[in-house]
Amino acid sequence: MAYGVGLDGHRQLLAVTIGAEESEDSWSELLAQLTDRGLTGVQLVVADAHAGIAAAVRRHLPEAPLQRCVVHLQRNVLVKAPHRLRARLAREVWNVFQAPSRAEARQRLKALKNGLGRQLPEAMECLEAGFEAATRFYEFPRQHWHRIRCTNGIERLHGEIKRRTRAIGAFPDRASALRLVTAVAIQVTAIWTDRRYLDMSLLKPKEVAVVKAA
């Protein structure tokens, strides 16, 4: 599933498809739908760190940088820490991405590594590996940061879809499942037209669209 933010600053549901797994082929099917329908000018793709998504974006939207969801990155980091340290680590990791600039975020990451991070080498390795992809949002207006650094909006949509599909149970075929998922997605996202999601006037003229996928 993918939605975009257009020149008017409003979110729009762009595509829905069903894949057997989180693979490059599955995501390529969805992105191919978008490019075949004329999607252009994408300046940022916000998604989780699935290798399939990244590969599909490179194939179909090579000009667009990929912003890794900071919430998912934080979760990935936390699972590599013992339970007794997770609450503290969560606060410190989130503090890194609350920095007012990428340079300051790097300094906070360094301080974390030299402090609590000394006890958590695997967690720090995960955080460092994802840092660059998770800080693309700094290249955009500050007013946009809290919207474009994670996929929370689409995760809420997923939650409603899961609730509805679980109530149905089994589907006779892929087409029937896709019809329900699409209908729920359209119903839930209908309210998006009521308010502007991003002030696109803050962007430079060449920066015209943001796409989120998950």
Type of residue found at 162: K
Residue 123: what pLDDT?
A: 98
CATH number of 2-69+151-213: 3.30.420
3-state secondary structure 183-213: HHHHHHHHHHHHCCCCCHHHCCCCCCEEEEE
Contact 84, 91 (CB under 8 A): no
pLDDT at 95 over 80: yes
In tens, the pLDDT along 11-58 reads 999 998 887 777 888 889 899 999 999 998 899 999 998 889 999 999
In tens, the pLDDT along 171-213 reads 888 889 889 889 989 998 988 888 999 999 998 765 455 666 6
Residue 104: what pLDDT?
A: 98
Averaged pLDDT, 144-158: 90
What integer best gives the mean pLDDT of the chain? 91
Residues in the chain: 214
Residue 55: what pLDDT?
A: 93
Give me the residue spans of the domains in the chain: 2-69+151-213, 70-138
Of residues 104 and 23, more confidence is placed in 104
Residue whose token pair is 């000394």: 118
Tokens coding 36: 């075949």
